[in-house]
């Protein structure tokens, strides 16, 4: 049973634990500081928290299974003397374990769109230059932020050399050799807001979030800027999921850990009006591969609600039955029955950026 | 020797002892401080070694040039590093 939930917010990291029939805040860290990403590394029990200090840049902290937080090294772009376009990390937007056979190795995605690898638990990082140097990267553009970024990093549990990243905006990129070479996979995706001759271009897709089914890693779900897509062939082709309700816009998706037919979404009205449809917070769940959706409302506010769920704000645990959802309005809900019924766990948190079950 | 000190707002993130250093320019002085406290560099300068946008450096009570940090500093002069306060 899942007993601990990490909640990264605009003003600190809050750790909730199961207490009796409910959940309560067990501890908090970095109070007042923006925490953009958190990772609980099951390989060694470490926890990582990325800060986006407005004045002082992006920082990364690590905590051992028991012990205090300690600052380690945040990813940084190589110094390029004389290059006026040389860049700096503005946000650490994704952070993942590099696989069970790569002890201590981590992947991090940033804004702007850099992918970085650490082999020593965040003590040092290197930019994955084969992706950074792809000429297509010049066509990546910011989606919501001024610069494009990597928000999803998916490692294949069958082979940790195989990974996939999602770029907003810049499509879905795959590597089979731990980042040494890359190819773009987005056939079947469609960007309806682009000129018709570019709308189907895989490079132009604004993928908001990618999740894989860990037990069936060829199955991927994407919440895209203008719809939901699903692949069953490891991103080679994508099918449009038209049954999503009550709206096709959103940021978050959570894929069931064992059932490749099940996933959850948190829809919002549309891109230029990022609030719940009719003021009602809902979760859309499909159990049949996207052919149909249940719109789950029980326990969620059904009037006058203006919550938005960011792309890392909806998660499911290893059992597939416990879900957590956090909003930019600082509401945190948990469901213990696959989304059928939700309970408000906290209603006055800072805006929530990322949730992780630990 | 010039004296380098930092806003107290930085000290909750990283140790910022006030140091007197042998230096002829603001950049010299900062490099000496970073040598003593390597973690501090990333708080003041970005990935490209440029002063972070919301960090200000004052020398002798006046704002130092940000681009090259080559303002000369005199013995006994104070270099103070602080940040803009903003947000809610």
| B87 vs A54, A76, A78: nearest CB | A54
Instruction: Identify the pLDDT of residue A187.
Output: 94
Which tokens in the block code for residue A253? 């998706």
Global pTM? 0.95
The answer to whether the CB atoms of A88 and B43 lie below 8 A apart is no
Neighbours of A294 (CB within 10 A): 16
Taking contacts as CB-CB distances below 8 angstroms, the residues of chain B near A89 are 47
Euclidean distance between CA atoms A210 and A253, whole angstroms: 7
Q: What is the C-alpha R_g of chain A?
A: 19
Q: What is the pLDDT along chain A (358 residues), one digit of tens a residue?
A: 789 999 999 999 999 999 988 999 999 999 999 999 999 999 999 999 999 998 899 999 999 998 999 999 999 999 886 666 679 999 999 999 999 999 999 999 999 999 999 999 999 999 999 999 999 999 999 877 889 999 999 999 999 999 999 999 999 999 999 999 999 999 999 999 899 999 999 999 999 999 999 999 999 999 999 999 999 999 999 999 999 999 999 999 999 999 999 999 999 988 888 999 999 999 999 999 999 999 999 999 999 999 999 999 999 999 999 999 999 999 999 999 999 999 999 999 999 999 999 9
| B46 vs A54, A59, A88: nearest CB | A88
Instruction: Identify the pLDDT of residue A272.
Output: 80
Instruction: Identify the pLDDT of residue B86.
Output: 58
> How many angstroms separate the CA of residue A80 from the nearest CA in chain B?
7
3-state secondary structure of A203: helix
> How many angstroms separate the CA of residue A28 from the nearest CA in chain B?
16
Q: Judge contact between A202 and A190, C-beta under 8 A.
A: no
| A55 vs B39, B49, B55: nearest CB | B55
Taking contacts as CB-CB distances below 8 angstroms, the residues of chain B near A53 are 13, 43
Q: Is the pLDDT of residue B67 over 90?
A: no
Instruction: Identify the pLDDT of residue A271.
Output: 81
The answer for residues whose C-beta is within 8 angstroms of residue A20's C-beta and 6 or more apart is none
Among chain B residues, the shortest Cα distance to A81 is held by: B48
> How many angstroms separate the CA of residue B74 from the nearest CA in chain A?
27
Euclidean distance between CA atoms B17 and B30, whole angstroms: 12
Domains of chain B listed by start with CATH number? 3-83 (3.10.20.30)
Instruction: Identify the pLDDT of residue B23.
Output: 93
Which tokens in the block code for residue A345? 């766990």
Q: Give the residue numbers in A contacting B (CB under 8 Å), as ranges.
A: 53-57, 59, 71, 74, 76-80, 86-89
Instruction: Identify the pLDDT of residue B85.
Output: 64
Q: Is the pLDDT of residue B87 over 80?
A: no
The answer for residues whose C-beta is within 8 angstroms of residue A201's C-beta and 6 or more apart is A186, A191, A194
The answer to whether the CB atoms of B39 and A71 lie below 8 A apart is yes
* Mean residue pLDDT across chain B: 89
Instruction: Identify the pLDDT of residue A341.
Output: 98
Q: Judge contact between A121 and A133, C-beta under 8 A.
A: no
The answer to whether the CB atoms of B13 and A55 lie below 8 A apart is no
| B47 vs A54, A59, A87: nearest CB | A87
Instruction: Identify the pLDDT of residue A20.
Output: 87
The answer to whether the CB atoms of A86 and B55 lie below 8 A apart is no
In chain A, which residue ranges form alpha helices assigned H by DSSP? Answer: 129-132
The answer to whether the CB atoms of B52 and A57 lie below 8 A apart is yes
DSSP conformation class of A213: E
Q: Give the residue numbers in B contacting A (CB under 8 Å), as ranges.
A: 9-10, 13-14, 39, 42-44, 46-50, 52, 54-55, 83-84, 86-87
List residues bridging with A38 in a β-sheet: A49
Euclidean distance between CA atoms A127 and A73, whole angstroms: 13
Instruction: Identify the pLDDT of residue A215.
Output: 98
Q: Judge contact between A190 and A241, C-beta under 8 A.
A: no
Q: Which of B7, B41, B42 to mutate to test the interface with A (most CBs of A within 10 A)?
A: B42
The answer for residues whose C-beta is within 8 angstroms of residue A175's C-beta and 6 or more apart is A130, A131, A161, A162, A163, A164, A181, A182, A183
Residue A72: which region, alpha, beta or left (left: phi > 0; alpha: psi -120 to 50)?
Answer: beta
> How many angstroms separate the CA of residue B88 from the nearest CA in chain A?
10
Q: Is the pLDDT of residue B88 over 60?
A: no
Which tokens in the block code for residue A307? 């919550």
Three-state SS sequence of A207-248 = EEEEEEECCEEEEEEEEECCEEEEECCCCCCCEEECCCCCCC
Distance in angstroms between the alpha carbons of the first and the last residue of chain A: 11
């Amino acid at each position: 049973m899942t007993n601990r939930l990490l909640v990264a917010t605009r003003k600190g990291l809050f750790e909730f634990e199961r207490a009796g029939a409910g959940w309560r805040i067990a501890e908090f860290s970095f109070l007042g500081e923006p925490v953009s990403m958190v990772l609980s590394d099951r390989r060694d029990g470490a926890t990582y928290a990325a800060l986006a200090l407005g004045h002082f840049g992006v920082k990364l902290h690590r905590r051992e299974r028991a012990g205090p937080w300690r600052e380690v090294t945040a990813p940084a772009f190589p110094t390029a003397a004389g290059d006026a376009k040389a860049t700096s990390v503005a946000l650490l937007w994704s952070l993942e374990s590099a696989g069970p056979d790569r002890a201590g190795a981590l992947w991090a995605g940033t804004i702007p769109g850099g992918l970085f690898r650490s082999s020593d638990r965040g003590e040092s990082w290197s930019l994955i230059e084969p992706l950074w140097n792809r000429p297509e990267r010049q066509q990546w553009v910011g989606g919501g932020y001024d610069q494009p970024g990597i928000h999803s990093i998916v490692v294949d549990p069958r082979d940790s050399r195989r990974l996939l990243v999602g770029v907003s905006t810049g499509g879905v990129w795959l590597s089979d050799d731990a980042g040494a070479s890359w190819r773009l996979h987005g056939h079947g995706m469609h960007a309806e807001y682009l000129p018709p001759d570019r709308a189907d271009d895989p490079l132009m897709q604004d993928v908001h979030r990618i999740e894989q089914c860990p037990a069936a890693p060829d199955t991927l779900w994407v919440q895209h800027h203008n719809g939901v897509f699903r692949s069953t062939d490891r991103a080679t082709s994508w099918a449009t999921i038209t049954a999503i309700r009550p709206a096709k816009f959103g940021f978050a998706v959570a894929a069931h850990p064992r059932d490749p037919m099940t996933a959850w979404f948190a829809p919002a009205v549309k891109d230029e009006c990022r609030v719940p449809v009719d003021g009602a917070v809902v979760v859309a769940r499909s159990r049949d591969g996207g052919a149909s959706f249940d719109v789950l409302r029980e326990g969620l506010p059904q009037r006058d609600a203006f919550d938005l769920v960011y792309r890392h704000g909806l998660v499911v645990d290893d059992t597939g039955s416990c879900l957590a959802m956090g909003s930019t309005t600082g509401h945190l809900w948990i469901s213990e029955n696959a989304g059928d019924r939700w309970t408000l766990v906290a209603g006055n948190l800072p805006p929530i950026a990322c949730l992780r079950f630990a | 020797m010039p004296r380098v000190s930092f806003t107290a707002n930085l000290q909750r993130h990283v140790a910022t002892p006030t140091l007197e250093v042998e230096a002829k320019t603001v950049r010299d002085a900062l490099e000496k401080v970073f040598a003593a406290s390597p973690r501090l560099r990333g708080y003041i300068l970005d990935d490209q070694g440029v002063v972070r946008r919301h960090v200000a450096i004052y020398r002798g009570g006046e704002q130092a040039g940000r681009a090259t940090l080559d303002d000369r500093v005199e013995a006994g002069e104070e270099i103070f590093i602080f940040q803009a306060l903003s947000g809610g």
